[in-house]
Amino acid sequence: QQQVKQSPQSLIVQKGGISIINCAYENTAFDYFPWYQQFPGKGPALLIAIRPDVSEKKEGRFTISFNKSAKQFSLHIMDSQPGDSATYFCAALRLTTSGTYKYIFGTGTRLKVLA
């Protein structure tokens, strides 16, 4: 089954704290793992992404940690700010038999950062 399991469903963090969102996948054929950020009333927007041959990628306050053997990857938001309050989706891409890439999205995590 082509699934990506995401947790937690919701998360409340104090300003300045670290927000951690986890995702796990089952299919080893996935070869790209993006994270999307969605603000209310807006479509999701790409935040950061990682390839499976890399264990960590950092962009500003956002870091993806990737554990290939455990088939898990996580998003860490350092020094969380109220402006980070949004819904975060992990995703995994796999190449289909027709030669196109298909996205499998997690169920999302609603993050609220308290001021």
Partner 1 sequence: GAGVSQSPSNKVTEKGKDVELRCDPISGHTALYWYRQSLGQGLEFLIYFQGNSAPDKSGLPSDRFSAERTGGSVSTLTIQRTQQEDSAVYLCASSSAWSHISPRDNEQFFGPGTRLTVL
Residues of this chain that bind partner 1 (CB under 8 A): 6, 31-32, 34, 36, 41-46, 49, 51, 89, 93, 95-96, 98-103, 105-108, 110
Nearer to partner 1, 41 or 83 (CB): 41
Nearer to partner 1, 59 or 79 (CB): 59
Nearest approach, Cβ of residue 22 and partner 1 (Å): 15
Q: Which residues contact 80 (CB under 8 A, 6 or more apart)?
A: 13, 14, 15, 16, 17, 18, 19, 61, 111, 113
Nearest approach, Cβ of residue 63 and partner 1 (Å): 18
Nearest approach, Cβ of residue 79 and partner 1 (Å): 26
**Which H or E run includes 89?**
strand 86-95
CA distances for 106 relative to 6, 81, 114, angstroms? 5, 23, 24
Structure-token pair, residue 25: 């996948």
